Amino acid sequence: MNAIFRVNDHNHSGMRVDKYIAEVARLFPRSQIKNREVHVRINNHPSKLSRHIFHGDLIEVEFQEPKTVTIKPEPVKLDIIFENGTVVVINKPQGMVVHPANGHYSGTLMQGLLFHCKDLSDLFGNEYPRPGIVHRLDKETSGILIAAKTPEALDLLADQFRKKIVRKIYLGILKGVPSPPVGKVKNRITRDPHNRKRFTISETKGKTAITHYRVIKNFYGAYSLVWLKPETGRTHQLRVHMLFLGTPILGDPLYSRKDNQFPEATLMLHSWKLSITLPGDDKPRTFRAPLPSRFKEILKCINSWSYSVDSPLRKRQG
């Protein structure tokens, strides 16, 4: 499908074209641009969606109708931390997939959300292939996740993620200790050409990824509990960045080898804290997901070891 607009109002000069499409032309929300495969021409020239428009510009928009997706609600148990009329904040357990995808068509968080919020499908309609889903966590990552109960709430929350004003803090247990103990990783991340399930660092390809980190506790150089703050949201970003530092996340099946002391450990990465402004609020709220039992068990075990000759920590270093 196609739509053509002329920018006739000087007040719209300097606006991004994707924002103009959503808020002025009102073709569809910005959150649906990727799903509709949108292509834009400005004054007969192909343009990026981030380009700024000016008075007199001719905008041509080519887009697809939303694909019809049928996803049935399921009585999936949700650990709800907070809920009001516009949002639901959930503590996602490890192993739960956020939305249906290849190989995971049942038991997802989104299907549980559809069951919990009975009118969610009607409110979002076919234009939203993933009703309510604002952001995602990897299947093996546990922790805080916010979902929207209305399209308006989804657009407001998603816009904060796009503008990188949402504060997300993760906790992780690493094999080894990053050096220096406080720092920032900034580089490019792209899909690994040798393994499509993995991502890797590249000097020329991919997108810029930035992670801030801080060591909370150093366990004799063998393990560490770390605070992680992603400034960007690339797939597997924290996992790739910790590997880049030479301290992969304990239990990571893609980016780390099985650990001798904790061979049964699963991915020790937890989305701990989220600060975001809710619809109707004028300042951010902060939500926290309690430390999961798998973290407590491993930390208790490490803390119980004394740094003696027979300590597993000493053997690991040796």
CATH class of 80-162: alpha beta
45 Cβ contact partners less than 8 Å away, ≥ 6 residues apart: none
CA-based nearest residue to 216, from 205, 228, 227: 227
Res 1: pLDDT: 86
Tell me the mean pLDDT in the region 286-293: 98
Q: Which fold is adopted by the domain 2-62? A: 3.10.290
Residue 261, pLDDT > 60, answer: yes
Give residue-wise pLDDT tens across range 47-73: 999 999 999 999 999 988 766 556 889
Q: Yes or no: is domain 167-317 CATH 1.10.620.20?
A: no
Give residue-wise pLDDT tens across range 160-184: 999 999 999 999 999 999 999 999 9
Tell me the mean pLDDT in the region 250-254: 97
pLDDT-derived band at 311, boundaries 50, 70, 90? low
Verify whether residue 138 is a known catalytic residue: yes
pLDDT averaged over the chain?
91
Catalytic: which of 9, 57, 79, 138?
138
Res 162: pLDDT: 92
Query: What percent of the chain lies above the pLDDT cut of 90?
Result: 76
One DSSP character per residue, the chain reads: -EEEEE---GGGTT-BHHHIIIIIS-SS-GGGTTTTT-EEEETTEEE-TTPBP-TT-EEEEE--PPPP-----------EEEE-SSEEEEEEPTT--SS-BTTB-SS-HHHHHHHHSTTHHHHHGGG-SSTTB-----TT-EEEEEEESSHHHHHHHHHHHHTT--EEEEEEEEES--SSSEEEEEEEEEE-TT-TT-EEEESSSSEEEEEEEEEEEEETTTEEEEEEEESS--TTHHHHHHHHTT-PBTT-TTTSPPPSS-TT----EEEEEEEEPPTT-SS-EEEE-PPPHHHHHHHHHHHH--SSTT-HHHHHH-
Q: Where are the chain's structural domains? A: 2-62, 80-162, 167-317
Q: Report how far residue 109's alpha carbon sits from residue 73's, in angstroms, rounded to the nearest whole number.
A: 10
Domains 2-62 and 167-317 share a fold: no
pLDDT-derived band at 94, boundaries 50, 70, 90? very high
